[in-house]
């Protein structure tokens, strides 16, 4: 297990973990911290973060990353809302605003609250098998 805790003194979420910035804490263990999002898109919108500071997913060691999803599952089930989304943004273009990895757990109690995905923000392309084959080949070759 990665025991060295990486902290960035200037990072908002590192300060929340430390307690120097207050939050509505939901859960904490050795590696993970969960708190309410300050501007929720649904009641119970939470952020699940590693105590280890990494800006995006690729900056986290696998053993740190592997602790996060079981916690996201646990707190998602605790909301009592059976339908929900888990969202994780990486990079400015991809709508990340706070550069400490976080998984949004967003309850979906009804059509109006929570995550809304329409054709405009999920711009699907028509099926193109040649393009898919080339993409699959390109990514497999980088693994
Ligand atoms: P992102 O856009 O980076 O995926 O998500 C960042 C989230 O952090 C946003 O949903 C935003 O509301 C939340 N957030 C930003 N600042 C604070 C804060 O000081 N406290 C809490 N609890 N949430 C914050
Ligand atoms: Zn941080």
Give the percent of the chain with pLDDT over 70: 97
- β-strand 25-28 against 46-50: which pairing, if any? unpaired
Given the structure tokens 């307690």, which residue do they identify? Answer: 19
CA torsion, ordered 21, 103, 53, 68, to nearest 10 deg = 110
Residue 50 lies in a domain: yes
What's residue 5's pLDDT?
74
Residue 131, classified by CB atoms within 10 Å of its CB into exposed (0-12), middle (13-18) or buried (19+), is: exposed
What's residue 50's pLDDT?
98
Q: Which of 31, 45, 102, 104 is catalytic?
A: 102
With a 6 Å cutoff on the Cβ, whether 95 touches ligand 1 is: yes
Residue 1 lies in a domain: no
Residue 28 lies in a domain: yes
Residue 30 lies in a domain: yes
> What CATH code is carried by the domain that includes residue 94?
3.30.428.10
Per the structure, the complete domain to which residue 58 belongs is given by 12-142
Q: Binning pLDDT at 50, 70 and 90, where does residue 3 land?
A: low
Q: DSSP label at 59? A: G
With a 6 Å cutoff on the Cβ, whether 37 touches ligand 1 is: yes
Q: What is the mean pLDDT of residues 59-78?
A: 97
> What is the pTM for the complete model shown?
0.96
| Number of domains observed in the structure of the chain | 1
Considering the chain, what is the average pLDDT of its residues?
A: 96
Active site residue 53: no
What's residue 128's pLDDT?
98
Nearest ligand 1 atom to the CA of 39 is 12
């Amino acid at each position: 297990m990665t025991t060295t805790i990486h902290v960035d003194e200037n990072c908002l979420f590192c300060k929340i973990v430390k307690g120097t910035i207050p939050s509505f804490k939901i859960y904490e263990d050795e590696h993970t911290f969960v708190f309410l999002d300050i501007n929720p898109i649904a009641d119970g919108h939470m952020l699940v973060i590693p105590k280890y500071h990494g800006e995006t997913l690729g900056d986290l060691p696998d053993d740190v990353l592997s602790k996060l999803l079981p916690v996201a599952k646990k707190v998602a089930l605790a909301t009592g809302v059976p339908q929900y989304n888990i969202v994780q943004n990486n990079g400015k273009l991809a709508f990340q605003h706070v550069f400490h990895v976080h998984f949004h757990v967003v309850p979906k109690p009804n059509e109006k609250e929570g995550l809304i995905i329409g054709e405009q923000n999920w711009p699907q392309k028509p099926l193109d098998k040649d393009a898919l084959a080339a993409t699959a080949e390109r990514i497999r070759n980088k693994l």
